Structure 1
Amino acid sequence: MNFYEHQDRAQRRTKVIVFLFILAVLCITAIVAIPIGFTTEWDPVATVAASVICLLIVGIATLSKLSQLRGGGSTVAEMMGGTLLQQGGSSQTEKRIQNIVEEMAIASGMPVPPVYILEDETINAFAAGWTPSDAVIGVTRGCIEKLNRDELQGVIAHEFSHISHGDMRINIRLIGIIFGIMVLGITGWILVRFVGPMILRTSSRSRSKEGAGGAGIGLAVILFGLFLAFCGFIGTFFGRLIQAAVSRQREFLADASAVQFTRNPSGIGGALRKIGGITPLTTPTSDASQCNHMFFSQAMNAMFASHPPIKERIARVEGIDASDIEHNENITSTVVGDSLVSGFSESVVLDSIKNGSGVREIAVAKSRDVLSGIGDVILDAIREPWSARLVLFAIVVDRGQPKQDEILSKNLSKNEWSVYKKITAHVSNTNESARLPIIDLAAPALKQLSKSQLGEFNTLLTLLIKSDGVIDRFEWVFVSVIQKHLAPPNLKNSRAKLSLLRDSASLVLAMLAYYGTTERKDAELAYKSGAESCSLKQLKIPEMSSCTIENLNNAMKKLQKLRFTERERFLLACERVVVHDEQITTTEAEVIRAIGDLLDCPIPMFG
């Protein structure tokens, strides 16, 4: 199962969650309504009223929590007590985690997610967000200080797997749903802990009959609170059941993907051993073996856990028998210091598209080369919101267009203009293949700009690319990817088929065909090759004049409605157009990866 199939499967799993949620709510409502029915001799008004109130409480709580979480990954991280790691980091361990996250993001073709630190000495991490563009990575202080680089890379690869498999969106919805079905227990706790005792204290100050009546009301409130707390216990049971139903197998998959990404089972295996207090593996085996059946009590303890048992995960990752794993309570910190023809072959491009955002070892190595080739001056600049803008201006400016320099000199302050000129010299010496990674690296810093600052940045960027009256493919890619990274996440499920959006697909394929050659006949042949590969036959190539930036943007927005397996077909069609002339330029490679990015289908770096 590849990236695209995982994404469609993740959307289908949402239906399972909704079904379990409805079942849980009905059970909780029945638990509330039946006792009230007995005490009122099944008075229909009282029974129905209790049921409706229960449904309203659960429904409003769920919708309220989901609305709160619309902010995406940063909202979840802050809700959990995370603190945004400032770009550059203040310690060696913070710089190391940031470097690993950047490596994995560039290798997978994703925008670099901001990193949040949770001040906790345990070893843990999470990925949160609706889409790759608004994802964040959260790690505990213990995680970055107690794991060595290989182990930390294994943990981060595990979290990137959750991003690429569409698990984050499910997890956010689970937060809202579980909160909704547990809210009765929270309400009961408030009644028992605060409201009931407050009424009792107030009534105790009065010796009148009203005071005695108040005491009775206070006791009734406490008893009702205990009843709601019991309902909350039932809600917790169903909440854990839902988590187990959708989470446990995904953890095995993420572990396996982490090994695939890093080609190093001892990395994530070592991290799991430290989490479980288990002796490090000294004699790893190459053949996977079956895990021993667990005792009944252990199975019951783990039945509704959201994660599989640590031993079982280690056994699968390292290919050993679970009974051979020994415990070791002594866990210590292990921190260590730490547009020419591109040369991309058709098979490499095809494999990267089919692989989706699944990171391969070669892509991780390539990302390290890209990072080292960018240079410290640019890396330091793109980690600050103020200077990140200047780096992106320097990338988009054509050195042969003095009008663009004139626009910048008028709109930038003297200090900004001076820094921009220094950055320009370094950007000129940077390989073209680093342009998209630089945008991805700049994403966390740009997201820290205020709304007005973002507006000014977008306005100036638009002025620059329109200054020469011609918008080429790279400029369209550049602006579109930046805007995608900074736009609110798309929360709608995508189920459309490519045949329903044939006009939009046709326009994008035509753009690729026209810009790949100067001869219309060659463009028509390239277009035909791509259109036929995705079953869009008997389509005439649109005129070049229709391939405007506005039309292309509208086409890409419509194509975001495609189900993910249909997006794969479309991306493969784009690849057929690009490779028709048997040459793939760096710009063409960037365009393919950018189209994937715009469709929330990150494509790994071409090796």
Structure 2
Amino acid sequence: MQFRQHQRAAHIRTARLIGLFALLLLALTVTVNLLQALLYKLILPFSVGFPALFFETNTGLVMLFVLGGCFVEAQRLRDGGGPRVAHWLGGREVRDPDDATERRLLNVVDEMALASGQPVPRVYVLHKEDAINAFVAGWGPDDLVLCVTRGALDRLTRAELQGLVAHEFGHIKEDDLPLAMRVLSLVWGLSLIHGYGRTLMAPDEKGHVGPLSWLIGLVFSITGWLGWMAGKMLQAAVSRQREFLADASAVQFTRSRDGLGNVLRKLWHDQQVLAGHMRHPAAGMVSYLLMNEPGAAGCLSSHPRLSERIRRVCGTILPPMPAPLVRMDVVEPRMLPTGGLALAANTVPTDPVLSAAQARQMREARSREALIRLNNLVGPTERRMITLALMMNIHNERECALWHHMAEGIHEAQRILDDVAALAANRHILEFERLTASIANDPIEQRRALVESARDLLRADGKVSPRERLWWLALRHRLSERQNRQAYMRPTTGQGHDLQDMSLDQMQHVTALTTYLARFIPIDETGKGLAPAGLAWFKGVMSRCGRPTDVSPGSSPDADALMHALAGVQELSWMMRPLLLKAWVEEAVNNSAQGVLSDQTADALRLAAGLIDAPLPPMLEAHYPSKA
């Protein structure tokens, strides 16, 4: 399933359907005028023309009922918003539950809020509903609610509950709720014409019905009924497309097809065996908001066929799946809600140690949230732009301006930059490696274009620093053809087992590359190389290679000499390259403040390790969090 393509297609179809709704109102107005004109000629066949303001009055009445009814219904829906809808259906809000399934639900909601980057809604449980279902309601973050049936809590596994909740967050992310309420208001407005026609056809207190009044009412009733039916069909069509979009978003948020796919299969089984009906009589009012609308079919169904949704999510039509009660073997602890750290940020603690701890917690929370959002961006263009953002200097105005130009057409491009900036410093290179490992499977033309874009971006300010060149070389190396990279890993023989066994040519290559790295290794926390520390680092590495301790680095190699030196070091044996990297790392630790590598120094060493295809020493690997 190509989720990005489905999302774009659903957006286009929804826009077309909304446009058709406007055309429907215009067609309804024209139809009313035509029928009223025909009725007038049937009653007065010999009249010339039509009375003054005849068509204007008919048009005004149609607009008054439709638009006025829309306004009235919208105001009613705004009164109370999502909580009112939840209370209509007998929902009870879940805050700090003792029930294990409700605690699991709150944890899942918090997780999906982070994964989707959306606000955490108020959570309600419909305890009298045994069917598997859920919906979200509200106009915005202030009145947003998520309602889940008791049947969903009792009969879905955790992964399936994630798929169900993620589907509802898909509606929130795509701003479906205001759209659904506005369409509902329009349909209700269209139904008023039918109601007005029925009123004109109704007898008065004496039981009399005027023929003219009855004929006019018949016209309004028939036209209004047609308009109401067309509006319901349009509402159903809009809802169907948004369901496909929410399904795609759910897979994006959970990064799994199985959770949502199994939910849809269990819903299908409920429809076939148990009918899957909601018990509350007001459930029909929000049928188009539910995860699935039981019993409806054809053009008036607000949801697509479950078999089609399963096919799009799973890639094939899988059979229905029974939904027995799920046993809770593990009782989850209640996780800290997302808003907890934000609340702490607004408090002023008296203990400075506590303040530092809170600040660290908030940074870690922002980093985790940013990491989740970045991992959820799986489009090829998004992956490339995140890679470039990880390489560039986010505080460089020219580089940022060029990056935004390259990112034209990406939704919320600034959010990508903000999330990259929020990442923990020791997470940048891990994300760089994750993304480049994925991009390495792209066609050669796309990989070459990314390398060229990185080159243009890093020199946007007219200069390329030694550190930026190292990032660019690492990008080019990681995106190179795999068979060419394997040549560097061949077990070359005859090179000895110690750095002092290197030949003169090999020593020249190592010296040149170490000279280049000495310009920014070690690096302090401000990103500036320290000349005394860099010189001491160079001499320490050279002494391990058997060079005199008074050797000086000399001039740094130019671009051609650097590439030649790098190729020579890459030709070292599989035993020599790890020894060289170990010397780089240990001497960097010896010459770093308090013997602790800065994040910039560790990143430079890790990039260098990738360039020479050497495994990370434990001392360097311990600087980074586990990839898991």
Indicate the residue corresponding to 2:117 in structure 1: 109
Taking structure 1 as reference, are residues 15 and 391 closer, same or farther at Cα in structure 2, changes over 3 Å only?
Answer: closer
Deviates more, 1:527-536 or 1:303-312: 527-536
In the alignment, structure 1 residue 317 sits paired with structure 2 residue 318 = no
- The amino acid across from 2:35 in the alignment is P
Q: Which residue of 2 aligns with 1:336?
A: 327
Aligned residue for 1:112, secondary structure, equals coil
CA distance in 1: counterparts of 2:408 and 2:129, whole angstroms: 37
The residue aligned with 2:234 is: 242
Give the 3-state SS of the residue equivalent to 1:127 in structure 2: strand
**CA 1:223–1:143 in 2, change beyond 3 Å: closer, same or farther?**
farther
Which residue of 531, 548, 553 corresponds with 2:401?
531
Other structure's SS at 2:303 match: coil
The 3 A distance-change label for structure 1 pair 523 and 103 is closer
1:308 is displaced (CA, Å) by: 1.4
Aligned to 1:290: none
Q: What is residue 572 of structure 2 aligned with on the other side?
A: none
Where 2:325 maps in the other structure, the secondary structure is: coil
* 1:269 alignment partner in structure 2: 261
Task: Select 2:181's aligned residue among 129, 152, 172.
Answer: 172
* Structure 2 CA distance for partners of 1:335 and 1:230, relative to 1, 3 Å: farther
Tell me if 1:66 matches 2:74: yes
Paired position in structure 2 for 1:140: 149
Maintained 8 Å contact 1:529/1:580: no
TM-score by length of structure 1 reads: 0.50
1:92-112 alpha-carbon deviations (Å, 9 max, x no partner): 443332222122112333221
Task: Show CA shifts across 1:240-259 (max 9, x none).
Answer: 33234433333233323333
Q: Is the 8 A contact 1:578 1:584 kept in 2?
A: no
Q: Which residue number corresponds to residue 413 of structure 2?
A: 569
**Structure-2 change in CA distance of 1:264 and 1:36 (3 Å):** same
> Relative to structure 1, is the Cα distance of residues 95 and 576 closer, same or farther in structure 2, using a 3 angstrom cutoff?
closer
Q: For the aligned residues, what is the CA RMSD?
A: 5.2
Q: CA deviation at 1:535?
A: 4.5
Does the Cα contact within 8 Å between 1:84 and 1:116 map onto a contact in 2? Answer: yes
Q: Report the equivalent of 1:215.
A: 208
1:399-446 Cα distance to aligned partner (Å, 9 max, x none):
4569xxxxxxxxxxxxxxxxxxxxx899869944565599x9xxxxxx
Q: Would the alpha carbon gap of residues 317 and 6 (structure 1) be closer, same or farther in structure 2, given more than 3 Å must change?
A: closer
From 336, 345, 348, the counterpart of 1:397: 348
Could you tell me which of 165, 174, 181 is aligned with 2:190?
Answer: 181
Deviation, structure 1 residue 389: 8.8
Shift of residue 337, structure 1, vs aligned partner? 1.9
Question: Which position in structure 1 is the counterpart of 2:23?
Answer: 23
Given the alignment, which residue of 273, 298, 318 partners 1:302?
298
AA in 2 matched with 1:116: Y
Distance (Å, rounded) in 1 between the aligned partners of 2:360 and 2:254: 27
Structure 2 CA distance for partners of 1:115 and 1:13, relative to 1, 3 Å: farther
Change (3 A) 1:275 1:226: farther
Within the candidate set 150, 153, 164, 1:155 is matched to 164
The 5 A counterparts of 1:164-563 are: 164-188=173-197, 196=202, 199=204, 202-203=205-206, 215-217=208-210, 227-277=219-269, 302-321=298-317, 325=319, 333-337=324-328, 379=336, 392-393=343-344, 396-400=347-351, 431-433=361-363, 435=365, 526-535=396-405
- Given that residues 367 and 424 in structure 2 are in contact (C-alpha distance below 8 angstroms), is that contact kept between their aligned partners in structure 1? no
Q: How has the CA–CA distance of structure 1 residues 427 and 240 changed in structure 2, closer, same or farther, with 3 Å as cutoff?
A: farther
2: CA distance, partners of 1:579 / 1:138: 33
In structure 2, distance between residues paired with 1:581 and 1:309: 47
For residues 437 and 115 of structure 1, the distance between their equivalents in structure 2, rounded to whole angstroms, comes to: 26
Contact 2:160 2:260 in 1 (8 A): yes
Seen in structure 2, the aligned counterparts of structure 1 residues 394 and 279 have a Cα distance that, compared at 3 Å, is closer
Q: CA deviation at 1:312?
A: 1.8
Q: How far does residue 7 in structure 1 lie from its aligned partner after superposition?
A: 9.4
Instruction: Give me the whole-angstrom Cα distance separating, in 2, the residues matched to 1:169 and 1:73.
Output: 11
Secondary structure of 1:115's partner? strand
- Alpha-carbon separation, structure 1, partners of 2:248 and 2:297: 24
Q: Which amino acid aligns with 2:20?
A: L
> 1:543-598, CA deviations, whole angstroms, 9 ceiling, x for partnerless residues?
xxxxxxxxxxxxxxxxxxxx99476333445567779998879xxxxxxxxxxxxx
Paired residues of 2:163 and 2:263 also in contact (CA < 8 A):
yes
Unaligned runs of 5+ in 1: 204-213, 281-299, 339-367, 403-423, 441-521, 537-562, 586-605
Change (3 A) 1:243 1:227: same
Counterpart AA for 1:307: H
Contact in 2 for aligned 1:77/1:138 (Cα 8 Å): no
User: How many angstroms apart in 1 are the aligned matches of 2:269 and 2:6?
Assistant: 36
Q: Return the alpha-carbon distance in structure 2 between the equivalents of residues 578 and 525 of structure 1.
A: 13
**Pair 1:272–1:181, CA change in 2 (3 A):** same
CA distance in 1: counterparts of 2:198 and 2:153, whole angstroms = 36
**Shift of the alpha carbon at 1:134?**
5.3
Q: Tell me if structure 2 keeps the 8 A contact 1:14–1:170.
A: no
3-state SS of the aligned residue for 2:148?
strand
Per the alignment, residue 93 of structure 2 pairs with: 85
* CA–CA separation in structure 2 for the residues paired with 1:106 and 1:525: 26
Give the deviation of 1:87 after TM superposition: 0.6
CA distance in 2, matches of 1:158, 1:99: 16
| Corresponding residue of 1:592 | none
Aligned-pair CA distance for 1:57 = 0.9
Residue 461 of structure 2 corresponds to which residue in structure 1?
none
Q: Could you tell me how far 1:113 is from its partner in structure 2?
A: 1.1
* CA distance 1:426–1:116, shift in 2 (3 Å): farther
Aligned positions, number: 382
Q: Is the 8 A contact 2:261 2:310 kept in 1?
A: yes
* 2: CA distance, partners of 1:4 / 1:312: 16
Residues 27 and 528 of structure 1, relative CA distance in 2, 3 Å threshold? closer
Amino acid at match of 1:25: L
**Unpaired segments ≥5 residues, structure 2:** 42-49, 273-295, 370-391, 430-626
8 Å contact from structure 1 (residues 102, 112) kept in 2: yes
Which residue does the alignment assign to 2:532?
A: none
CA contact (8 A) 1:161 1:258 kept: yes
Bigger Cα Rg: 2
Q: Is the 8 A contact 2:163 2:251 kept in 1?
A: yes
